[in-house]
Chains A and B, each alone.
Chain A
Amino acid sequence: MHNTVRVQTTINGEAREFLCEPRQSLLECLRDVLGLTGTKEGCNDGNCGACTVLMDDRVVTSCLVLGVEAQGAQITTIEGIARGSDLHPLQRAFLQNAALQCGVCTPGFIVAAKALLDREPNPNEEQIRLWLANNLCRCTGYDKIIRAVEQAAEEARA
């Protein structure tokens, strides 16, 4: 007989507990079990980055993580990026630079970019492009996204 698994984890700083089937991805668990639909599914095989979340000290595509692997982990999703009612500098910079059109890739880009700025507060254009190469955007041509990340980095340093 198949059993679902109880997973205890921390999501956006809050202790959460949920039941899931081992075959469910972390992405499915976030969206369908926990109602955190800000994390998007674009390809379900790790190649578009729309489902990017932070897991402990690394950035991952949540479609390639099983929900059961979240046991004991610290997960940060797009819902945990804003600081209370204030937007994160990256979120503000995305808006000011018109760095989103349809917006479906935006959560993944912001989460991935946050991980970059947390590690490298002063990235150059090449570093930003390399870091974000696992995130596809089909609307913007990336130009305004790169500028938004540059602006957020500048603001964070100021």
Chain B
Amino acid sequence: MKWFDYATPASVGEAVGLLKTHPGARLLAGGTDLIVQLRAGRKETDLVVDLKHIPELNAIGYDAAGGLTIGASVPCYKIYRDPAIARAYPALIELASLIGGTQIQGRASLGGNLCNAAPSADSVPLLIAMRATCRMTGPGGTREIAVEDFCTAPGRNVLQPGELLVSLHLPPPAPHSGARYLRFIPRNEMDIAVAGAGVEVVLDDGKFRSARIALAAVAPTPLFVREAGDALAGQPVNETTIARAADIARAGAKPITDMRGTADYRRHLCGVLTRRALEAAVQRAREGKR
């Protein structure tokens, strides 16, 4: 690995200042992507800025009215050990438990997973489905955008020079709602998604009030298939409507063939996973477990 220096800013402002003086700086949260990329020479830097000493980036805040705020550097294990999140957002607990294995979860963060902007990022489809937003601060101040607008290409995102992701925000769970992320991997852990589907449904008296569906690993970015969810709005909850949404999701996928699977196979998986995730989310909504 080539030489770099190391800084531990104590505030967002200090971090933004370092990014200004070191345009080539890289931000370190859990390091499970960054350290690997630096070691393999896929990224270079003169300065690693460790974000784990900035309180805002390392806090979890939840209240029933306002929803959930997760600092960008909060490691997965802190999410799945949090009883408030477990009650309100069980799908998020599952998500934090399936990124990497135990040791990776001791370091990896949802914010890092999002900023790394891999098409296969496991956390992003569910965050999109759950209407999460990103809070970013840079030289020009603070702004918020929807997670579905964050990634722009493999490894690329909307962050401007000098700007950093501070936190993710999830709205409070709607009544009669349920969410679920399912991915397909050949092993049972420690694997990159061949395809993934994150969904959230809100039910209303045997019908879908609304649904949101997003896919992993089948496009240059995590893919929000708005039309697949929209097709369910106002429709009865049954096999036919769910199958139709799954068809639309499959049609929206734009996968490639690589070592993890062929394009045909991935497209097929989008249909299977979307259907299964919708069924699981419906179940969850009906049981009131979200």
Please tell me if the beta carbons of A23 and B2 are within 8 angstroms of each other in the complex.
yes
B106 in the interface (beta carbon within 8 A): yes
B31 within 8 A of A: yes
Complex contact A46–B48 (CB within 8 A) = no
B101 an interface residue at 8 Å Cβ cutoff?
yes
Chain A neighbourhood of B3, CB < 8 A: 2, 21-23
List residues of chain B with CB within 8 A of the CB of A112.
102-103
**Which size bracket describes the interface of B in this complex?**
20 to 34
Tell me whether A64 is interfacial, beta carbon within 8 Å: yes
Interface check B263, CB cutoff 8 A:
no
Minimum C-beta distance from A20 to chain B (A): 10
Any B CB within 8 A of the CB of A49: yes
Q: Which of these binds chain A: B32-40, B134-142, B265-273?
A: B32-40
Interface centre among B1, B77, B103, B107 (most CB of A within 10 A): B103
Contact yes or no, B100 A134, CB < 8 A: yes
Whether the Cβ atoms of B100 and A58 lie closer than 8 Å is no
Residues of chain B with a CB closer than 8 A to A19's CB: none
Residues 245 to 289 of chain B near chain A (Cβ within 8 Å): none
Pick from B6, B39, B101: contact of A49, CB under 8 Å:
B101
Checking A25, A47, A61, A69 against B50 with a beta-carbon cut-off of 8 angstroms, the contacting residue is A69
Q: Is B240 part of the contact surface with A, judged by Cβ < 8 Å?
A: no
Least CB distance from A120 to B in Å reads 12
> Measured between C-beta atoms, what is the minimum distance from B35 to chain A in Å?
5
Query: Among the interface residues B4, B5, B6, which one has the most CB atoms of the partner chain A within 10 A?
Result: B6
User: Contact: A44 with B39, CB < 8 Å?
Assistant: yes
Are B107 and A64 interface neighbours, CB within 8 A? yes
Contacting residue for A25 out of B4, B35, B106, CB 8 A: B35
Binary interface profile of A, 27-50, with partner B (CB < 8 Å = 1, else 0)? 000000000000000001111010
Quick check: is A117 within 8 A (CB to CB) of the other chain?
no
* Given A61-B103, A134-B189, residue A46 in contact with residue B36 (CB < 8 A): yes
Q: Complex: how many Å from CA A135 to CA B30?
A: 19
**Interface residue from B2, B6, B77, B100 paired with A66 (Cβ < 8 Å):** B6
Q: How far is the CB of A136 from chain B (nearest CB, A)?
A: 8
- A40 CB to nearest chain B CB (Å): 14
Interface pair A134/B31, CB less than 8 Å apart: no
Chain B residue at smallest Cβ distance from A25: B35
Per the bound structure, the CA–CA distance linking A141 and B88 in Å amounts to 39
**Closest 5 pairs (CB-CB, A-B):** A134-B101, A58-B106, A133-B189, A22-B6, A60-B106
**Beyond known contacts A55-B106, A66-B28: 11 more, CB 8 A cutoff:** A2-B3, A21-B3, A23-B38, A60-B106, A61-B107, A64-B32, A64-B103, A64-B107, A112-B103, A134-B190, A135-B101
- 24 A-B Cβ contacts within 8 A? A22-B6, A23-B3, A23-B4, A45-B39, A46-B32, A46-B103, A49-B103, A58-B75, A58-B106, A59-B102, A60-B107, A61-B104, A64-B30, A64-B104, A66-B48, A66-B50, A68-B6, A69-B52, A112-B102, A130-B189, A133-B102, A134-B190, A135-B101, A135-B103
